Chains A and B, each alone.
Chain A
Amino acid sequence: MRDFLIKLSKIERRYIYLALFLALTLPLIFPPNFPQKMSPTVKSVFEFIDTLPPGSHVLLSADYDASVLPEVDPMYRAVLKHCILRGVIPIGMTLYPQGAVLALDAFKEAEEYLGARRDTDYVFLGYQAGYQAVILGIGENIRSVFPKDYFGTPIDSIPAMRGVKNYKDIALVISFSGSSIPITWVIYAYSKYHQKVAAAVTAVSAADFYPYIQTGQFVGMLAGMKGAAEYEYTVGKIMKDNGIEKLPPAKAVKGMDANSIGHILIMLFIIIGNLGYFATKRRK
């Protein structure tokens, strides 16, 4: 037994790589669909939207580009679908030029899977330059910043925008970003207009935003692929409960399954290595 354990402490690299390769690829081919339990910060955002009365408006700002797509895009799609399923009207916009194309694709997916209708079930305003000027402008009158939507329709003739003038008519703003733009929303929208703000960010930048959750400046936060997977999983369940059979690809859940199995495998190797190490020490 001891010899076996000692051998385990000296496993060749190639076997570790093979095991990891299998651990990462097999879940992508045969997704186990592990149940994703929501962490507290993600749950805060979810419950906020879930308890909004139908007809409320939520501003989804796609402030990201293709470099953070794998983590942030699934979040945008999941939150967007959640809003539509609950009868909440998502207003899409972006402060990043590349964000417009990515966000538009998410809205098209919502049309395909949920039958969402433009201008009735959702609004897409597109891109506007100016960062804080845009955020401040929405605080006064959203029409001063976006007189027309992305498709050229005047805001006043969009049924879904009826009664929406500024932050007083918007229940929540969520900034989806790979940088520090959510903080800009806190500085200008939350501090000046007391607008509720949430963040959906990459795992690497999440640590910088925890202080804002602790102070209540963020309602909650979706962090990294884990946050995306948790939200995506829950929205998938809601879609099934609503009798929707054709579900969109759950990229974050798939990725997170592979990620989790990979992590567990690494932890297993560490435990095995330590058992072997102890066995070697004992022998000496």
Chain B
Amino acid sequence: MAEPRFTDRFGRPLVAVTGMGVITSLGEGKAANWAALTAGRSGIHRITRFPVEGLRTTIAGTVDFEGAEDFCAPKLSERLATTAATEAVEQSGLPRGDFPGALFVAVPPVEIEWPQRRALAEASGQAGDVTYADLLKATETGAFADWHDLFLFGTVADHLAERFGTRGSPISLSTACSSGATAIQLGVEAIRRGEAPAALCIGTDGSVHAEALIRFSLLSALSTQNAVPEEAARPFSKNRDGFVMGEGAAALVLESAEHAHARGAEILGYVIGAGEKGDGFHRTRSSPDGAPIVAAIAAALEDAGIGPEAIDYVNAHGTGTPENDKMEAMGLMAVIGERMRSVPISSNKSMIGHTLTAAGAVEAVVSLMTIREGVIPPTINYRVPDPAIPLDVVPNVAREAKVGCVLSNSFGFGGQNTCLVLSADPA
């Protein structure tokens, strides 16, 4: 039986955060990201990784300083995850290479990419029309064996599990744009069940290549405000016109408060609640009544054992698409009520873009830093308020504030809604 102070109000092991790491287009590490985020600096820039001729969107928040010369999405995603997890595990003080818990990693779906398709087509010797039969034929040489492992969905997680010495079967997961939050949720659940004293939870995404961008572009999801890249992502503004793709990774060491206390680790904050709700309305759009978003937020508060009045700040999903921001504001108003008009809410995506699979984890780290530093990063590029979103979006300039409890929202295609409650103190 654990000491009462190590359990939450439902008697479950209390889940502390003892290590965090992050990398985005703004830089590597918490310090660099925090400095940029609180200065209101944007990491969005013109894409140089591949030619942009013929594209409607030519900007993104790619991470170009991590060896992008041989770009391949799973390779970059693994590098980003490794960087973030190294920072997190070092901060936690847990042994390197012998992590006392499981790995939950949100990874972008992998696929054979165009450079590999082209190489296979060339190796096939087909001089006429190329078909997949030719690509299949080219494999018979055995020259492409390494690409099998590279393009398996489980490879990034396996490499991370090997490097950090996590326990058990690592889980690679996707809940689309809420994946990072789901990775944290899985870790919270594992610790509450007592399966292990710790969990390493990572969200990573280094998948900005031409086809990935074109896919979102064809769905009209991306901003086309290419002229001034830093000003394209405009969450909650009336003139928002879509999200900007970003890359990055974040890692959190979750640990039972009892385990953290016993080894004298510094506790950076707590994950006191997680909630989720599916939406069966449409593949890319939320139910018009916002009910699933409302249910996910309410479930997170309920799981935390707190009421809406306890929320001091909302780290928004805030993608900057016309649809998302409207629905998110509506859902928040429904749960938190009139008070929501004065609860600060901001979107990190205004500066780093939408880091997709990584976003929920990146934003959880930023949320916990907000609590620790007492400064709320702004929503930049907010010049034209949207009357339909009557919220305090912390426009353009960071704000000092005492923040004890943060609601962090993540929503994704396929009806995925995942919300986390992060707190300075045990609830």
Report whether chain A binds chain B. no
Interface residues in chain A, defined as those with a beta carbon under 8 Å from any beta carbon in chain B? none
Interface residues in chain B, defined as those with a beta carbon under 8 Å from any beta carbon in chain A? none
